[in-house]
A = this chain, B = another copy of it.
Amino acid sequence: MQVLRYREGAYHEEEISVESISSRTSFNEDYDVTWIRVTGLGDTALLEQLGEKFHIHMLALEGIVNTMQRPKFEDYGAYFFVVLKSIHSWEQEENIPISQVSMLVGEKIVITFEEKEEFFFHAVWERVVSNKGLIRKKKADFLAYSLVDAIVDSYFSVLEKLGEELEQLEERLIYDPDKEAIHAIHRMKRQMLQLRRALWPLREVIGNMERGVTSLIHSTTTVYLRDVYDHVIDMLDVIENYREMLSGMLDIYLSSVSNRMNEIMKVLTVISTIFIPLTFITSLYGMNFIFMPELKYQWAYPAVLGVMLLISLAMILFFWRKKWL
Contact = CB atoms under 8 A, between A and B. Distances in A.
B287 A304 contact: yes
A90 interface: no
B69 A230 contact: yes
A272 B291 CA distance: 29
A70 B288 contact: no
Interface string A67-83: 01110101010000000
A76 B182 CA distance: 48
A276 interface: yes
A193 B282 contact: no
A197 interface: yes
Q: How many copies does the complex hold?
A: 5
Contact of A234 (B70, B241, B284): B70
A18 interface: no
A273 B259 CA distance: 19
B296 A290 contact: yes
Contacts of A294: 289
A261 B299 CA distance: 42
Given A252-B182, A262-B264, A287 B269 contact: no
B186 A251 contact: yes
Contacts of A179: 259
A300 interface: yes
A322 to B, nearest CB: 8
A273 to B, nearest CB: 5
Contacts of A255: 182, 253-254, 257
Contacts of A265: 261, 264-265, 268-269
Given A59-B223, A271-B277, A275-B279, 18 more contacts: A68-B234, A70-B230, A193-B241, A193-B244, A193-B245, A197-B237, A197-B241, A250-B251, A261-B262, A264-B266, A272-B272, A275-B276, A275-B277, A287-B304, A288-B288, A289-B294, A289-B301, A290-B296
A233 interface: yes
B260 A268 contact: no
A201 to B, nearest CB: 8
Interface string A183-207: 1001001100100010000000000
Contacts of A227: 59, 62
25 contacts: A59-B227, A68-B234, A72-B230, A197-B237, A257-B259, A257-B262, A263-B322, A264-B266, A265-B268, A267-B269, A267-B273, A275-B277, A276-B279, A278-B280, A279-B280, A282-B286, A282-B287, A283-B283, A285-B287, A287-B304, A289-B294, A289-B300, A289-B301, A291-B299, A292-B301
A54 interface: no
A9 to B, nearest CB: 23
Interface string A220-252: 000110110011011001000100110010111
